[in-house]
C-alpha cells in the first residue's frame, strides 16, 4: 500500500513540473490584438495572424496587454525574452514588436525592448532580451505594440505569434 502511495505522489510531482514550467510564459496569437483606430481599413486577420488587407499599404498597429501568467503569488517572473513570430518576404516592409512598461496612475511608459522581423521566404522567430528582474506586476503594467509596415502591396508582411519567457 505504501508503494502505491509513493508511486501516486511521484506521478503527481512529475506531472506538476511540466505544468509549472509552462505557466511562466506569456503568449498571444497576433490576431488577438486591439487594432489602432486609424488602421481599421488596412488590416486583416488570417487564422492566428495579423496582416494587411489585399492591396493595402502603410502601417498597422495592434496592442496586446501582458498579464501575469507566472506561478500564483509570484509578481516578479524572471522573463528575459520577447519573441516575435512573423513572415516578412520583402525589403519593402517589416514587422516590429515593442514591449513597454507602464507606471500605474500616471500612465508613464518606458521601452523595455524591440524586435524586428528579418526578410526571408519562410516564417521565423526573432527575439530581443532584457534583464531577468524587469517584470514586477506589483508595481507596473506591461503591453506589446506590434507594427506592420509595407510600402508596396505585393509584399507579404504578417505577424503570427508573441511570447514572453
Which domains can be identified in the chain, with CATH numbers?
Answer: 25-164 (2.60.120.260)
Per-residue pLDDT of 36-86, as tens digits, reads 999 999 999 999 999 999 999 999 999 999 999 988 889 999 999 999 999
Q: Which of 7-16, 88-97, 153-162 has the lowest mean pLDDT?
A: 7-16
C-alpha cell at 110: 518606458
C-alpha cell at 136: 514586477
Residue 55 and residue 153 in contact, taking contact as beta carbons nearer than 8 Å: yes
Closest CA to 103 of 68, 140, 59: 140
Secondary structure letter of residue 30 according to DSSP:
G
Query: What stretch of H or E contains 160?
Result: strand 157-164
C-alpha cell at 16: 506538476
Q: Residue holding cell 508595481? A: 139
Contacts of 49 (CB under 8 A, 6+ apart): 29, 30, 31, 87, 158, 159, 160
Q: Report the distance separating Cα 143 and Cα 135, nearest Å.
A: 11
Rounded to a whole number of angstroms, the CA Rg of the chain reads: 19
Residue 149 and residue 94 in contact, taking contact as beta carbons nearer than 8 Å: yes
Per-residue pLDDT of 81-116, as tens digits, reads 999 999 999 999 999 999 999 999 999 999 999 999
The DSSP bridge partners found for residue 127 are 83
Q: Report the distance separating Cα 117 and Cα 122, nearest Å.
A: 11
The total number of residues shown for the chain amounts to 165
Amino acid at each position: 500500500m505504501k508503494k502505491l502511495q509513493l508511486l501516486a505522489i511521484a506521478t503527481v510531482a512529475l506531472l506538476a513540473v511540466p505544468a509549472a514550467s509552462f505557466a511562466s510564459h506569456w503568449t498571444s496569437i497576433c490576431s488577438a490584438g486591439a487594432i489602432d483606430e486609424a488602421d481599421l481599413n488596412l488590416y486583416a486577420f488570417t487564422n492566428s495572424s495579423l496582416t494587411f488587407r489585399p492591396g493595402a499599404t502603410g502601417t498597422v498597429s495592434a496592442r496586446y496587454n501582458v498579464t501575469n501568467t507566472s506561478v500564483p503569488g509570484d509578481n516578479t517572473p524572471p522573463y528575459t525574452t520577447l519573441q516575435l513570430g512573423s513572415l516578412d518576404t520583402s525589403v519593402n516592409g517589416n514587422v516590429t514588436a515593442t514591449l513597454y512598461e507602464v507606471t500605474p496612475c500616471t500612465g508613464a511608459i518606458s521601452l523595455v525592448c524591440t524586435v524586428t522581423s528579418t526578410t526571408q521566404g519562410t516564417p521565423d522567430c526573432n527575439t530581443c532580451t532584457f534583464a531577468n528582474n524587469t517584470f514586477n506586476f506589483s508595481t507596473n503594467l506591461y503591453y506589446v505594440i506590434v507594427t506592420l509596415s509595407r510600402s508596396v502591396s505585393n509584399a507579404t508582411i504578417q505577424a503570427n505569434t508573441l511570447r514572453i519567457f
